[in-house]
């Protein structure tokens, strides 16, 4: 019995190590880069004037580690199926060549965005919010550490996507690794509190279909709007985009522009 469980324990620990490392590297790096090293140069891109207390950051970090434990536990489902020879998707995907490798990655990102939007809207239902989503919204003023700060139910909903995808769609394991890398980068930046996305001359986002930091920050400030994770498509289609989103984005990006102009005028010729 113990011999049968050892591979699962090793897989769980290895998955935990990878996911915790990925979370710590990106959350700490984004926090250190934006909140410490570049805090003054990027002051004009700060969305809110205030910063969350240190206690909030510590709670977010601890809760995120708990969420990663749930992700790793859910990952045992695909590991068990693969070990038993019942998960043939990775082999099938490899036989389909490099075109499918990159196609499956794009499809996985698109599918996850749809999964996130609709499950996110679901747990905002009054009957589910307290049990599933309250922890995340306690970070009214988010930080890079907010990325995985979930209640147990929300961690399960977010974590089960990858096993379900792997069961339903032939996908190589390296694709999952790239997907997770993309996910944590977008997640930590999206909660960073600094608008890093470029704007056009008219103040609109340069790439309008991508969710900006302002987009998700508005969701934390005023729940009920902006449910999307990577793309704005679902919010636009379903009428859930914040009515002042573009105005707020233009305001914070213009603030940076005005600051740069003032600096250049004050500099000696």
> For residue range 24-82, what is the model confidence (pLDDT) as tens digits?
999 999 999 999 999 999 999 999 999 999 999 999 999 999 999 999 999 999 999 99
How many whole angstroms separate alpha carbon 85 and alpha carbon 89?
A: 10
Same domain, 8 and 135: yes
Structural domain contains residue 37: no
Domain count, the chain: 2
User: Is 47 contained in some domain?
Assistant: no
Does residue 42 fall inside a structural domain?
no
9 and 88, same structural domain?
yes
Task: Compute how many other C-beta atoms are within 10 angstroms of the C-beta atom of residue 15.
Answer: 19
Per the domain annotation, does 39 fall within a domain? no
pTM of the predicted model, to two decimals?
0.91
Do 81 and 13 lie in a common domain?
Answer: yes
Domain range holding 15? 1-31+52-173
Looking at 173, 205, 223, the residue that finishes a domain is 173
Give the separation between CA 116 and CA 164, rounded to whole angstroms.
13
Residue 43 resides in a domain: no
Segment 247-261 shows an average pLDDT of 75
Does residue 146 share a domain with residue 246?
no
Q: What is the pLDDT of residue 5?
A: 79
Kindly state whether residue 269 falls inside one of the protein's structural domains.
Answer: yes
- The pLDDT of residue 176 is 97
Whether 152 and 235 map to the same domain: the answer is no
Pair 103, 225 in one domain: no
Question: pLDDT value at position 256?
Answer: 58
Same domain, 269 and 139: no
Q: Are residues 130 and 19 in the same domain?
A: yes
The answer to whether residue 187 is domain-embedded is no
Residue of 104, 96, 252, 117 lying closest to 178 (CA atoms): 104
Q: 146 and 213 share a domain?
A: no
Note the pLDDT of residue 264: 45
CA distance 10 to 71: 15
Q: Answer positive or negative: Cα dihedral of 102, 206, 234, 133.
A: positive
* 169 and 207 part of one domain: no
Question: Is the pLDDT reported for residue 268 higher than 80?
Answer: no
Which residue, 144, 173, 202, sits at the end of a domain? Answer: 173
**Cα–Cα separations (whole angstroms), residue 58 to 1, 149, 236:** 39, 10, 35
> Does one domain contain both 107 and 169?
yes
- CB under 8 Å to 110, separation ≥6 — which residues? 231
More confident residue, 3 or 154: 154
Residues 6 or more apart whose CB falls under 8 angstroms from that of 56 comprise: 138, 139, 141, 143
- Region 158-183 average pLDDT: 97
Is 183 part of any domain? no
138 and 210 fall within a common domain = no
How long a stretch of residues is the chain?
269
Alpha helix ranges (H) inside the chain: 2-31, 54-83, 89-95, 97-123, 126-132, 134-137, 152-159, 161-168, 173-190, 213-221, 233-238, 245-266
């Amino acid at each position: 019995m113990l011999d049968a469980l050892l591979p699962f324990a090793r897989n769980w620990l290895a998955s935990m190590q990878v996911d915790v490392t990925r979370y710590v590297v990106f959350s700490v790096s984004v926090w250190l880069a934006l909140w410490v090293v570049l805090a003054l140069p990027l002051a004009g891109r700060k969305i809110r004037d205030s910063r969350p207390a240190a206690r909030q950051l510590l709670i977010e970090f601890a809760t995120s580690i708990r969420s990663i434990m749930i992700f790793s536990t859910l990952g045992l489902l695909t590991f068990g199926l693969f070990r038993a020879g019942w998960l043939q998707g990775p082999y099938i995907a490899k036989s389909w060549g490099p075109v499918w490798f990159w196609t499956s990655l794009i499809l996985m990102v698109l599918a996850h965005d749809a999964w996130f939007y609709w499950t996110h809207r679901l747990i905002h239902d009054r009957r589910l919010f307290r049990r599933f989503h309250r922890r995340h919204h306690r970070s009214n003023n988010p930080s890079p550490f907010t990325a995985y700060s979930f209640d147990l139910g929300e961690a399960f909903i977010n974590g089960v996507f990858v096993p379900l995808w792997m069961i339903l769609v032939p996908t190589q394991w390296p694709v999952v690794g790239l997907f997770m890398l993309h996910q944590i980068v977008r997640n930590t930046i999206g909660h960073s509190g600094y608008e890093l996305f470029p704007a056009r001359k008219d103040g609109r986002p340069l790439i309008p279909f991508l969710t900006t930091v302002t987009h998700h920050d508005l969701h934390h400030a005023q729940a009920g709007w902006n449910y999307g994770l990577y793309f704005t498509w679902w919010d636009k289609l379903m009428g859930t985009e914040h009515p002042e989103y573009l105005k707020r984005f233009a305001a914070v990006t213009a603030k940076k522009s005005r600051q740069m102009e003032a600096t250049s005028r004050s500099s000696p010729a």
